[in-house]
Chain A
């Protein structure tokens, strides 16, 4: 089955070559960072986490969103998701890979990473985050592979897969909850110290992940003979809409609490992000782009007529994805550090090498995703007319 990765059209190889080039650039930039230290980034004493940790947070959400396919298909026997569910599981694998890499490139002493396992510290949420992420990667690898190879050989997946699938559901919720707990339990970081953070994370994940999946499914249909199913895509569109609505609602709840109570610590980060604080407003344009895209895409998605048009749906999903990518992959982390513990404002913006390293990580994610999808598509093309049995 794996050999399918090594055979492909010229277009396939061109794409893989392009990704490898970006990865090369990323690796070169990383070597620079490895030698010099994290000083090559835009980070500072005051804003000590930035793009890397933001992207980690965002992609944990993408990974967790596979559960939006697994629940309907395996718990509610929603057959229409039969073909697309593997795309969700493989997306989760690529996303977790990206997460682990973003943790890695953020470390000041990467060669000591095994200390996390050598000196396990259960009171540290980061210890749990690393544990659940690795577990989730393992679960999806096993489940994805077992179900796909069963299809390939034309039979049912082995019995032991089912319990793993059921386990993967709470596990998916756990990876994003634990990731939210990295932030939500820190005294003195008002922006993060909110009980709704994990819920907000999940809502945005269940909007952003499936939105990406819709776009991927449409691309898969375009470049191959494998059709993930029009109805499946439409159902995903509904899921995206509900989740996005919840996400915007949750953000509204945060804004109400901050601005009605008028407690300075609660309002300052929001002011910094959306209007600027003490003359510092580097993030303001990005945050407004995010807000406009969020409202715009939601307005389109709420209307079933628009949603049914796949081209419109694709545009809405891309806008929504970008919106959440900015909001959660960037603003959320930086906002937590502004103002700093002395009520001062230090701004942050990624540097070029930092951005190239991030590009390298994304490219590795895309490479893994392409390879996995290539296998899935090849198997599906070969077994196109066989009914799925799991």
Chain B
């Protein structure tokens, strides 16, 4: 169990007021290792924290990735602008080296080296993008989903500089003419605003799975990381999984099972 800073201040404050003295509380907490040395998970709260597990071994063909990416981009009206300068993407693939920089070794199996890995917004528990946004146009929901308000965004792109995962895209021009078809369920964007994966917040609120997960044939799992009985937690409990750039402390909610069942 861990405790967040605000709760801690509250408890410490109340205790101090009641005469017990904030410091003894502090001592006790330190003694029990409760204070945020907690680079460990936040468990056993009633709060939900949505997370995703990508089982890399279950992606076999080009087609497997394509289905997932297209499902997302179709659902959210993400345009294909056809050039890297204007590029907008919510979910995409790249090599191991580019997905997990610094984790590659000289003698990696060729199959691993050239395998595509899916990337998307990590819905970080401590999202730097949210920290830097000057208008709260990007914000974190109580269930952990990092959202964008396209109507409040001023297009300063501070969040793009702050995100260490390259998860964010900017509308360098009007994206609408490039859309082949429009899904009326989700808004299109104007020029001058930032966008990224929203974990299909609108679908989740309706009790559906994210579009990519649905299209993945079980290669991607989605669920509540705070619930020990959820599918994602069970998968994480029985497989070795990694996250992108763990060392930066943003605490991504997207996990990758690299070896699959055989290597678990």
User: If the complex has contacts A39-B173, A45-B169, A186-B162, are A124 and B193 also in contact, measured as CB distance less than 8 A?
Assistant: no
- A113 at the A/B interface (Cβ < 8 Å)? yes
Chain A residues whose CB sits within 8 angstroms of the CB of B97 once the complex forms: 343
Q: How far is the CB of B194 from chain A (nearest CB, A)?
A: 8
- A124–B128 alpha-carbon span in the complex (Å): 10
CB pair A343–B98 under 8 Å, yes or no, is yes
- A387–B161 alpha-carbon span in the complex (Å): 52
- A48–B163 alpha-carbon span in the complex (Å): 12
Chain A residues whose CB sits within 8 angstroms of the CB of B136 once the complex forms: 119, 121
CB pair B170–A38 under 8 Å, yes or no, is yes
- B261 at the A/B interface (Cβ < 8 Å)? no
Chain B residues whose CB sits within 8 angstroms of the CB of A186 once the complex forms: 128, 132, 161-162, 164
Measured CB to CB, the nearest residue on chain B to A263 is B102
Q: How far is the CB of B158 from chain A (nearest CB, A)?
A: 5
**Interface residues of chain B: helix, strand, loop or mixed (majority):** loop
Chain A 38-49: CB-based contact to B (< 8 A → 1; otherwise 0): 110001111011
- A66–B81 alpha-carbon span in the complex (Å): 47
Segment among B41-49, B72-80, B149-157, B252-260 that sits at the interface with chain A: B149-157
CB pair B101–A343 under 8 Å, yes or no, is yes
- A154–B89 alpha-carbon span in the complex (Å): 65
Measured CB to CB, the nearest residue on chain B to A344 is B98
CB pair A187–B248 under 8 Å, yes or no, is yes
Q: How far is the CB of B127 from chain A (nearest CB, A)?
A: 10
Chain B residues whose CB sits within 8 angstroms of the CB of A119 once the complex forms: 135-136, 152
Q: Which of A115, A189, A336 counts the most B-chain CB atoms under 10 A from its CB?
A: A115
Measured CB to CB, the nearest residue on chain A to B162 is A186
CB pair A121–B135 under 8 Å, yes or no, is yes
Chain A 102-117: CB-based contact to B (< 8 A → 1; otherwise 0): 0100111110110110
Chain B 98-116: CB-based contact to A (< 8 A → 1; otherwise 0): 1101100000000000000
CB pair B132–A126 under 8 Å, yes or no, is yes
Q: How far is the CB of B122 from chain A (nearest CB, A)?
A: 11
CB pair A187–B249 under 8 Å, yes or no, is yes
Q: Which of A37, A38, A188, A336 contacts B245 (CB 8 A)?
A: A188
User: If the complex has contacts A37-B173, A342-B98, are A112 and B133 also in contact, measured as CB distance less than 8 A?
Assistant: no
Q: Which of A107, A265, A343 contacts B154 (CB 8 A)?
A: A107
Interface size of B as a range: 35 or more
Chain B residues whose CB sits within 8 angstroms of the CB of A160 once the complex forms: none
CB pair A43–B172 under 8 Å, yes or no, is yes
- A189–B154 alpha-carbon span in the complex (Å): 22
CB pair B161–A49 under 8 Å, yes or no, is yes
CB pair A107–B135 under 8 Å, yes or no, is no
User: If the complex has contacts A186-B162, A188-B245, are A124 and B169 also in contact, measured as CB distance less than 8 A?
Assistant: no
- A115–B84 alpha-carbon span in the complex (Å): 30
- B211 at the A/B interface (Cβ < 8 Å)? no
- A350–B218 alpha-carbon span in the complex (Å): 45
CB pair A45–B134 under 8 Å, yes or no, is no
- B131 at the A/B interface (Cβ < 8 Å)? yes
Measured CB to CB, the nearest residue on chain A to B165 is A341
Chain B residues whose CB sits within 8 angstroms of the CB of A123 once the complex forms: 131-132
- A125 at the A/B interface (Cβ < 8 Å)? yes
Chain A residues whose CB sits within 8 angstroms of the CB of B250 once the complex forms: 187
User: If the complex has contacts A45-B170, A126-B158, A342-B166, are A109 and B193 also in contact, measured as CB distance less than 8 A?
Assistant: yes
Q: How far is the CB of A262 from chain B (nearest CB, A)?
A: 13
Chain B residues whose CB sits within 8 angstroms of the CB of A344 once the complex forms: 98
Q: How far is the CB of A271 from chain B (nearest CB, A)?
A: 16
- A20 at the A/B interface (Cβ < 8 Å)? no
CB pair A113–B154 under 8 Å, yes or no, is yes
- A152 at the A/B interface (Cβ < 8 Å)? no
User: If the complex has contacts A36-B173, A45-B87, A343-B98, are A106 and B156 also in contact, measured as CB distance less than 8 A?
Assistant: yes
User: If the complex has contacts A109-B193, A123-B131, A346-B84, are A336 and B98 also in contact, measured as CB distance less than 8 A?
Assistant: no
CB pair A264–B170 under 8 Å, yes or no, is no
CB pair A107–B155 under 8 Å, yes or no, is yes
CB pair B128–A109 under 8 Å, yes or no, is no
Chain B residues whose CB sits within 8 angstroms of the CB of A118 once the complex forms: 135
- B85 at the A/B interface (Cβ < 8 Å)? yes
- A118–B85 alpha-carbon span in the complex (Å): 32
- A116–B152 alpha-carbon span in the complex (Å): 10
Q: How far is the CB of B155 from chain A (nearest CB, A)?
A: 2
- A341–B172 alpha-carbon span in the complex (Å): 20
Q: Which of B86, B133, B190, B248 contacts A188 (CB 8 A)?
A: B248
Interface residues of A (CB under 8 A from B): 36-39, 43-46, 48-49, 103, 106-110, 112-113, 115-116, 118-119, 121, 123-127, 130, 182-183, 186-189, 264-265, 336-337, 340-344, 346
Can you name 9 extra interface pairs (CB under 8 A) apart from A44-B85, A44-B87?
Answer: A37-B171, A44-B86, A44-B172, A45-B87, A48-B160, A48-B170, A115-B152, A116-B154, A130-B134
